[in-house]
């Protein structure tokens, strides 16, 4: 099974590389921009991108610089803590990622795998990912709605860690502070 996952990953990576070349972008830049379109307000910093991608600070910094120069990303200083920089994909950056994910080939291939009920493959892969993250002691970087800190609060949600309210959309986003319930 490991070979299958490695090969799927390699094929998806080749698709990302091919797509990025059309825009003068490397796979790392597409991956960073993809992450930033899917993460929440606590996870949109250069440090979070570095942790998510598992790369060096310098590599990520250079990639973010290119994305900013090409107009796919903008930096914003935190309003409360001036030492923190938030990264936000521009409209152009969001449109680029919408065009690239999921790749057409992956979507077509998935459409032919009707032997598994809808959602079952995703459930299996999510559990495999969760176990790999646990075994390797890596941050989970998952959606808030699956986190142990999420608290329903008067038709909305509250992050039990930050004590701040979260909208319906925000609980779907990736958080670097995520922890699965025990």
Which is it for strands 73-77 and 85-89: parallel, antiparallel or unpaired? antiparallel
Whether residues 23 and 96 fall in one domain: yes
The percentage of the chain sitting over the pLDDT mark of 90, rounded to a whole number, equals 53
DSSP-assigned letter for residue 1: -
The top-scoring range by mean pLDDT among 5-14, 94-103, 154-163, 172-181 is 172-181
Whether residues 88 and 126 fall in one domain: no
pLDDT at 106 over 80: no
> In this structure, which long-range contacts are made by residues 124-127, counting pairs with CB atoms below 8 Å and at least 24 apart in sequence?
none
pLDDT at 59 over 80: yes
Whether residues 68 and 105 fall in one domain: yes
Report the residue count for the chain.
182
- Which of 52, 87, 112 represents a domain boundary (last residue)? 112
- Which of 112, 130, 163 represents a domain boundary (last residue)? 112
Q: Which residues of 136-175 are buried (b: 16+ CB within 10 A; e: fewer)?
A: eeebbbbbbebbebbeeeeeebbbebeeeebeeebbebbb
């Amino acid at each position: 099974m490991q070979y299958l996952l490695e090969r799927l990953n390699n094929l998806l990576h080749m698709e990302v590389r091919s797509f990025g070349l059309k825009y003068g972008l490397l796979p790392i830049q597409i991956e960073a921009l993809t992450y930033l379109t899917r993460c929440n307000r606590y996870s949109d910093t250069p440090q979070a991108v570095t942790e998510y991608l598992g790369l060096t600070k310098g590599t990520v910094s250079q990639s973010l610089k290119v994305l900013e120069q090409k107009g796919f990303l903008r930096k914003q200083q935190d309003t409360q803590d001036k030492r923190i920089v938030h990264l936000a994909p521009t409209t152009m950056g969001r449109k680029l990622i919408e065009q690239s994910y999921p790749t057409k080939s992956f979507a077509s291939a998935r459409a032919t795998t009707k032997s598994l009920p809808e959602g079952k493959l995703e459930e299996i892969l999510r559990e495999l990912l969760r176990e790999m993250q646990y075994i390797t002691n890596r941050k989970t970087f998952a959606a808030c709605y699956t986190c142990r800190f999420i608290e329903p609060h008067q038709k909305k949600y509250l992050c039990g860690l930050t004590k701040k309210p979260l909208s319906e959309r925000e609980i779907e986003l990736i958080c670097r502070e995520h922890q699965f319930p025990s």
